[in-house]
């Protein structure tokens, strides 16, 4: 039979990221692993990078998988609450003023190739996430391919540049001094230049330093490779660091199983063992993983199915066991006709929005550098029509028009912020007002090319409604839709406006700020505002909850006043899974269905055909 349950209610979420059977197997000792067991999940976008900390790789499609193959010091459960992952390592505050945090790797923790995880991995992670050793004032814009979003072969070989989007005013960017290595190479201590309220969330999962050094510096021995990383950082060896940063940026980008399997070296409960381009990634239990989150299922295959109805059909046919497609009315109807599944519906932590390119757009006149044109375009976006036609048929009365760049609907501070932030001016379409502003702007080239996922039916419909409305005001909206839209975000010259969703990844008060801060990793539209940067800086050092809300409201108001872009709706979320798999319990935060994949179990103890 089919069971329907309500999804978790919206919380005050923060950080954003760019969604027949064989015989049963045997349990592997006390680990709970059932040998030979396998399931298949579906996602709507293909994986393309094992480094989710670059501007190119920071996408949900990547980070769902990276979450399972790269371990770290903490993660969120579906409460949602932050869980310390002490089986990987521990961290402690040694001093609050100045802020000093020590990170220590637990005993016996190894990479999937058997190499110890240690301070070399952590120190290289610091260098990348802080950019403290980067060549000053280098701008990579001229070396980014507008067709792919990746760095070109012309990228300078003598430049140290880690593409983490770190700024010297936030997160690990505040750790400008090289950390101290201790505990026989098992720990590093970060000394912050200033307090940072969300320090506990700032140190992401590391990549394998020995693999990076092997490929970048030509050192085969893991111990020697690690030492070369430590030496390069300690000596600020620009020549070595340039090679290390180049590989860190691009070496883990791949769209099919790499011939060099060193590139899938893992630290988490799973590791990538197969990848067929645009079809699927297969994850298998990592034999070197000894942490607390040891998996029950030996093999998880993630199929890439962009069309939501195709995902539903695959679930009905038994080809996949778990889906979380972008919801449409047709999806809800189709799921209602399938037996032996569980359907979980509710409002998710992702919101739809349009961002305008303040600089380096596709239009040769850089159309949205003009505030009158930005205001005019936002007046044409049919937010309510999109909600009524595309979202209400799915979510009914739960359909939510979002009117804040910072706050989630229902969160403390949302209502007051919406009342004062200026979003009311864009509650309804105003074609005549848009025409007047556009004429007054003096802009002659009115082309606006919008980037969106061309293989996503809902986005195709959204684009059509926006195009029709904006053209009535005198814009010439053209189609920059692409199946590779994720890698193109932030690429100079690729588009003028983007239509996509930001998915919340944490409860941190500062973690949406890299979207708006000058030079932040999620600042994909070249936006820069002294007022916004000042509010961001204040928020990063403010520990008082009431003052945090006030600062966020100020920030929200400044973004709307700049005509930064427009928020549209909070995502309706639908998860469905077959009765042959249990312990599926989605979180409102990324990676949603995958957050506890190690707890999943197959009810038949075997494999899907």
User: Who contacts 536 (Cβ-Cβ below 8 Å, separation ≥6)?
Assistant: 169, 170, 510, 513, 516, 517, 555
Among the candidates 198, 223, 250, a domain finishes at: 250
* Whether residue 421 has a cis bond before it, omega within 30° of 0: no
Domain-embedded: residue 533: yes
Rounded distance, CA 202 to CA 204, Å? Answer: 6
The residue range of the domain holding 518 is 348-367+382-426+445-570
Neighbour count for residue 413 (Cβ, 10 Å)? 20
Report H helices in 162-298.
Answer: 209-217, 222-234, 238-250
Domain-embedded: residue 133: yes
Rounded distance, CA 79 to CA 58, Å? Answer: 24
Domain-embedded: residue 602: no
Rounded distance, CA 593 to CA 429, Å? Answer: 36
Among the candidates 216, 250, 284, a domain finishes at: 250
- Chunk the chain into consecutive blocks of 10 residues (it has 609) and report each block's average pLDDT, rounded to whole numbers: 36 45 37 91 96 92 97 94 97 96 98 98 98 94 85 92 91 96 98 95 96 98 98 98 98 98 98 98 98 98 95 97 90 93 88 96 97 98 96 86 91 94 97 98 97 93 98 98 91 96 87 89 93 92 93 96 96 93 92 96 69
Domain-embedded: residue 607: no
Output the pLDDT for position 31: 61
Output the pLDDT for position 217: 98
Report H helices in 271-346.
Answer: 308-316, 329-336
**Strands (DSSP E) found in 420-519:** 447-451, 476-479, 497-504
My answer on whether 221 and 353 are in the same domain is no
Among the candidates 188, 221, 250, a domain finishes at: 250
To which H or E segment does residue 82 belong? strand 82-84
Q: What share of the chain is helix, strand, coil (3-state, %, to 5)?
A: 30, 20, 45
pTM of the model: 0.86
Q: Give the domain CATH number at 172.
A: 3.90.76.10
Q: Distance from first CA to last CA of the chain, Å, rounded?
A: 21
My answer on whether 228 and 362 are in the same domain is no
Write the pLDDT tens digit of every residue in 379-436: 999 999 999 999 998 888 888 899 999 998 888 899 999 999 999 999 999 999 999 9
How many Cα atoms occupy the beta-carbon half-sphere of 31 within 13 Å?
Answer: 22
Domain-embedded: residue 215: yes
549 phi, psi to nearest 5 deg: -65, -40
Residue whose token pair is 């070109």: 152
My answer on whether 224 and 355 are in the same domain is no
Output the pLDDT for position 410: 83
Q: Tell me the two tokens of residue 119.
A: 């301070």
Q: Tell me the two tokens of residue 23.
A: 């015989």
Domain-embedded: residue 190: yes
Contact 523, 141 (CB under 8 A): no
Collapsing DSSP to helix, strand or coil, 367 comes out as helix
User: Who contacts 358 (Cβ-Cβ below 8 Å, separation ≥6)?
Assistant: 368, 369, 525, 526, 527, 528
Contact 48, 277 (CB under 8 A): no
Q: Give the domain CATH number at 515.
A: 3.10.105.10
My answer on whether 191 and 78 are in the same domain is yes
Rounded distance, CA 316 to CA 311, Å? Answer: 9
Rounded distance, CA 262 to CA 112, Å? Answer: 10
How many domains is the chain partitioned into structurally? 2
Output the pLDDT for position 487: 85
Rounded distance, CA 96 to CA 99, Å? Answer: 4
Domain-embedded: residue 376: no
Output the pLDDT for position 11: 39
Q: Tell me the two tokens of residue 602.
A: 């197959």
Write the pLDDT tens digit of every residue in 324-340: 998 888 898 999 999 99
My answer on whether 241 and 361 are in the same domain is no
Neighbour count for residue 582 (Cβ, 10 Å)? 14
Report H helices in 218-342.
Answer: 222-234, 238-250, 308-316, 329-336
My answer on whether 219 and 362 are in the same domain is no
Output the pLDDT for position 13: 41
Output the pLDDT for position 145: 86
Output the pLDDT for position 609: 45
Domain-embedded: residue 68: no
Output the pLDDT for position 17: 57
């Amino acid at each position: 039979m089919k069971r329907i349950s309500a999804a978790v209610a919206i919380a005050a979420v923060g950080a954003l990221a760019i969604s027949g059977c064989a015989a049963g197997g045997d349990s592997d000792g006390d680990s709970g692993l059932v040998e030979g067991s396998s399931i298949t999940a579906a996602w709507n976008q293909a994986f393309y990078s094992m480094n989710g900390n670059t501007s190119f790789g920071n996408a949900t499609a990547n980070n769902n998988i990276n979450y399972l193959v790269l371990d770290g010091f903490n993660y969120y459960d579906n409460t949602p609450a932050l869980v310390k992952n002490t089986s990987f390592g521990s961290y402690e505050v040694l001093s609050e003023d100045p802020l000093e945090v020590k990170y220590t790797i637990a005993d016996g923790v190894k990479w999937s190739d058997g190499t110890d995880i240690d301070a070399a991995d952590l120190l290289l992670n610091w260098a990348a996430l802080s950019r403290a050793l980067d060549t000053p004032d280098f701008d990579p814009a001229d070396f980014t391919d507008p067709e792919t979003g990746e760095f070109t072969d012309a990228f300078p070989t003598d430049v140290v540049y880690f593409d983490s989007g770190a700024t010297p005013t936030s997160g690990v960017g505040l750790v400008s001094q090289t950390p101290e290595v201790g505990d026989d190479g098992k720990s590093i201590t970060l000394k912050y230049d200033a307090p940072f309220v969300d320090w506990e969330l700032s140190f992401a999962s590391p990549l394998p330093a020995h693999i990076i050094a092997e490929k970048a510096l030509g050192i085969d021995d893991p111990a020697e490779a690690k030492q070369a990383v430590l030496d390069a950082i300690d000596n600020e060896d620009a020549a070595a660091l340039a090679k290390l940063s180049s590989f860190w940026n691009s070496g883990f980008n791949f769209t099919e199983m790499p011939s060099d399997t060193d590139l899938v070296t893992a630290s988490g409960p799973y590791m990538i063992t197969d990848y067929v381009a645009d079809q699927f990634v297969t994850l298998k239990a990592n034999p070197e993983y000894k942490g607390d989150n040891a998996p029950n299922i030996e093999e998880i295959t993630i199929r890439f199915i962009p069309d939501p109805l195709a995902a539903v059909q695959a679930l009905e046919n038994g080809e996949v066991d778990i889906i979380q497609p972008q919801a449409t009315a047709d999806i809800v109807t189709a799921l209602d006709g399938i037996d032996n599944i569980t359907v979980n519906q509710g409002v998710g932590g992702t919101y739809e929005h349009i961002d305008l390119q303040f600089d380096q757009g596709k239009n040769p006149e850089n159309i949205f550098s003009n505030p009158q044109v930005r205001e005019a375009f936002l007046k044409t976006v049919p937010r309510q029509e999109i909600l009524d036609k595309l979202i209400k048929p799915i979510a009914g009365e739960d359909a939510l028009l979002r009117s804040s760049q910072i706050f989630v609907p229902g969160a403390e501070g949302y209502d007051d912020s919406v009342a004062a932030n200026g979003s009311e001016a864009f509650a309804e379409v105003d074609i005549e007002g848009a025409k007047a502003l556009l004429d007054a702007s003096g802009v002659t080239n009115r082309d606006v090319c919008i980037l969106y996922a061309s293989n996503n039916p809902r986005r195709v419909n959204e684009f059509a409604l926006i195009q029709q409305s904006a053209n009535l005001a005198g814009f010439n909206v053209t189609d920059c839709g692409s199946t590779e839209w994720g890698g193109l975000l932030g690429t100079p010259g690729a588009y003028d406006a983007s239509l996509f969703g930001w998915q919340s990844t944490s409860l941190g008060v500062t973690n949406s700020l890299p979207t708006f801060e000058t030079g932040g990793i999620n600042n994909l539209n070249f936006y820069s505002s002294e007022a916004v940067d000042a509010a961001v800086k204040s928020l990063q050092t403010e520990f008082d909850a009431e003052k945090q809300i006030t600062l966020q409201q100020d920030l929200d108001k400044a973004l709307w006043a700049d005509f930064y872009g427009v928020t549209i709706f909070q995502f309706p979320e639908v998860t469905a899974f077959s009765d042959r798999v249990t312990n599926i319990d989605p979180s409102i935060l990324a990676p949603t269905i995958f957050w506890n994949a190690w707890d999943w179990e197959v009810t038949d103890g075997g494999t899907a055909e």
